[in-house]
Amino acid sequence: MRNTKTAATVKRAFLDGYRIINGIPYNPSGIKLNGIYKESNGVIYHVIHPYKSSPLIKVAQLVAFQKYGEEALKKDIVVRHLDGDSLNNLDENIAMGTQSDNMSDRNREDRLEHSIKAATNLRKFTDKEIEEMKDKHKQGWSYKMLMEHYGITSKGTMSYIINNKYKTKK
């Protein structure tokens, strides 16, 4: 879990008696909570807000704490939904692992779509600009000319663009 304030809230909620039973949150008095549905990075999660002055917590995080204890609160640990359904907070669907484990839970098509989206957000050039660079290189433009024209400072980057499949479309 990356956020220490959220981790502290998960632990406090558990110690105060908040529980998740069969994927459903309950307050310390045993009253079922409706919770809230929040979107994060395109994924919808069921969350609860146990304290006014604290962050929302994902129901899955509380399930993981109930199941694994302090291990679920470690910095580089994420809560995984084994079936890929972020709203399925049943004990048997919740596991802990690394972000790499979490990505491996996705099917191949979802992983590819996610990686393309991430790469696109980091990329400086559009597919059209990449194609222009490759075309100009075929027409005789040197790396140096291309680098100056497109504001690229690394010959390695230029080589990667020219020689690899540096595209966002399938």
- The per-residue pLDDT for 137 is 96
Residues 40, 74 share a domain = yes
Residues 115, 92 share a domain = no
> Coil, strand or helix: which one is 146?
helix
Place of tokens 């990505």: 103
The percent of residues above 90 in pLDDT, for the chain, comes to: 52
Q: Which amino acid is at 67?
A: K
Kindly state whether residue 139 falls inside one of the protein's structural domains: yes
Q: How far apart are CA 13 and CA 87, in angstroms?
A: 20
Residues 142, 76 share a domain = no
- The per-residue pLDDT for 169 is 52
Kindly state whether residue 120 falls inside one of the protein's structural domains: yes
Q: Which domain holds residue 142?
A: 108-163
Which runs of E-coded beta strand occur in the chain? Answer: 19-21, 24-26, 36-40, 43-48, 57-58, 78-81, 94-97
Residues 95, 56 share a domain = yes
Q: How far apart are CA 88 and CA 155, in angstroms?
A: 48
Residues 88, 144 share a domain = no
Mean pLDDT, rounded, for 118-139:
83
Kindly state whether residue 169 falls inside one of the protein's structural domains: no
Q: Which amino acid is at 111?
A: R
Long-range CB contacts (within 8 A, 24+) of 33-36 = 35/59
Give the pLDDT band (50/70/90) at residue 170: very low
Give the number of other Cβ atoms within 10 Å of residue 64's Cβ. 26
Which runs of E-coded beta strand occur in 8-165? Answer: 19-21, 24-26, 36-40, 43-48, 57-58, 78-81, 94-97
* Distance between start and end Cα atoms, the chain: 33
- The per-residue pLDDT for 157 is 85
Query: What does the mean pLDDT of the chain come to?
Result: 87
Residue 119: partners with Cβ closer than 8 Å, 6 or more residues away: 168
Mean pLDDT, rounded, for 90-99:
92
Kindly state whether residue 22 falls inside one of the protein's structural domains: yes
The percent of residues above 70 in pLDDT, for the chain, comes to: 90
Kindly state whether residue 168 falls inside one of the protein's structural domains: no
Q: What is the pTM of this model?
A: 0.64
Give the pLDDT band (50/70/90) at residue 61: very high
Structural domains counted in the chain: 2
Q: How far apart are CA 154 and CA 26, in angstroms?
A: 56
Domain holding 55: CATH number? 3.90.75.20
Per-residue pLDDT at 77 exceeds 70: yes
Residues 66, 146 share a domain = no
Residues 56, 97 share a domain = yes
